[in-house]
């Protein structure tokens, strides 16, 4: 919810409830967005999004996100992209995964 609110404040998400529900549905039925090493990338393409954006959150205490390595998630990056921009969505996701493969960056974020 906090990640959605951050993107609503910038105007990138215009219908926070619809977007939140889309992300939850994606998590529940599309599999976890946890990528391991305590990182999750919740995302969805939804009509409640007016512009591509990313919000980030660190957690003091990790939460179970169903990660493949069973590690609790303490770094969250939510990607929001308007419908019809699936290619951009995948580009952002790939770039973020690439950046987060750098241990020095992840350590600095924590």
**Residue 67 phi/psi, 5° resolution?**
-65, 150
Active site residues: 43
Entry field: residues in the chain: 110
**Residue 79 phi/psi, 5° resolution?**
-105, 125
Dihedral sign of CA atoms 107, 88, 42, 57 in order: positive
């Amino acid at each position: 919810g906090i990640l959605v609110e951050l993107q609503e404040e910038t105007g990138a998400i215009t219908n926070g409830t619809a977007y939140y529900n889309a992300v939850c549905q994606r998590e529940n039925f599309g599999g976890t967005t946890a990528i391991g090493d305590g990182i999750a990338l919740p995302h969805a393409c939804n009509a409640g999004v007016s512009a591509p954006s990313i919000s980030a959150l660190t957690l003091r205490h990790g939460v179970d996100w169903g990660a493949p390595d069973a590690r609790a998630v303490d770094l969250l990056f939510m990607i929001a992209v308007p419908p019809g921009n699936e290619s951009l969505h995948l580009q952002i996701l790939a770039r973020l995964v690439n950046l987060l493969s750098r241990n020095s960056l992840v350590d600095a974020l924590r």
